[in-house]
Structure 1
Amino acid sequence: MFSMIYLWLIGAVVLAGADILLGTIYLLIIAAAALAAFIFALIGAGILFQLLAFAVFAIAGCVYLSYRKRKNSVSTDADHLQHINDGHSVEVKEWKKNGKARVFYRGTVWDAKPEKGSPMVPGLWEIVGMSGNTLIIKLKQEK
């Protein structure tokens, strides 16, 4: 005779199959939660504990996936855009009295200021960052 506890297993298999067809990871998490509820049913837990296990696993899995997705996408894109100019070279012909220089880079003239501790001498400099629309540069080491 068919036991009602196998409904959790059937639900898990159906959800996993739907995940394969649709390609969303959230259905797989819900399927894993249904599998956890099935395991609780096998060990003899009541329906309340089965539902509680299903809810806890489903919510925890979705929260974890959402956190992981947000962490990876934001930091990767933001870091790439923030440091897109790093490592490029610019030539400083002269320094102004305000501690900045005007350099030609990417087809236009930019303000540039030296990294802390860098001597303000003309020559070839390397971009190490940006502060607003001002390039932060350091003296390029000769090899």
Structure 2
Amino acid sequence: MAASGLFWWIAAGALVVLELFTGTFYLLMIALGFVAGGLAHWAGAELAVELAVAAGVALIAVIALRRSRFGSWRRRDASRDAGVNLDIGETLQVNEWHDGHARAMYRGAEWDVELAPGETEGARWYRIMAMQGNRLVVAAKR
């Protein structure tokens, strides 16, 4: 099977299928290396050249992915990330404060509300800045 070059294409296909389960794009970059090895075989290269081409393309592709915005996974605080929690950025009305804490109706339920650091109780409408458990951390809407 290795002599016919079919190995390169089967391995690339298997890596693409495995990538569907992981979702990290790294296996796709390695699959690109296997495709390059298959193309080198198709061009008539010897096995050592095929292996070198496959390894080189896979290495370059992985490094390029790692340096791109898709490869650098920065840890984000999910309590403040609007992509994780759709309530962040929404507004609610707070009628009465007690030392930076309150209860307010939001989405049909009563929530514990807390002022964000540096905020005052003077406003009536507040924007949700973060969620900490079942507490909404809010700042005055400007």
Q: Name the TM tier (shorter chain).
A: 0.5 to 0.7
1:86 maps to 88
Alignment of 1:33 with 2:37, yes or no, is: yes
More helix by share: 1
Alignment check: 8 A CA contact 2:94 2:124 kept: yes
SS of the residue 1:95 aligns to: coil
CA–CA distance in structure 2, aligned partners of residues 32 and 107 of structure 1: 57
2:139 equivalent to 1:138: yes
Instruction: Answer whether contact 2:40 2:53 (CA < 8 A) is retained.
Output: yes
User: Which one is further off, 32-41 or 129-138?
Assistant: 32-41
Percent identity (aligned): 24
Give me the whole-angstrom Cα distance separating, in 2, the residues matched to 1:114 and 1:130.
11
Unaligned runs of 5+ in 2: 20-27
Larger Rg belongs to: 1
Query: Which residue of structure 1 lines up, in the alignment, with residue 49 of structure 2?
Result: 49
TM-score computed with the length of structure 1 as normaliser? 0.56
Residues matched between the structures, number: 120
| CA deviations over 1:84-130 (Å, ceiling 9, x no partner) | 11222111111123x21111001111111112211113511111222
Q: With structure 2 as the length reference, what TM-score do the two structures score?
A: 0.57
Q: Cα RMSD over matched residues?
A: 4.3
1:1-143 equivalences in 2 (<5 Å): 15=9, 26=28, 29=32, 30-36=34-40, 41=45, 47-58=47-58, 61=61, 68=70, 71=73, 80-82=83-85, 84-97=86-99, 99-121=100-122, 123-141=124-142
Structure 1 unaligned spans of 5+:
1-6
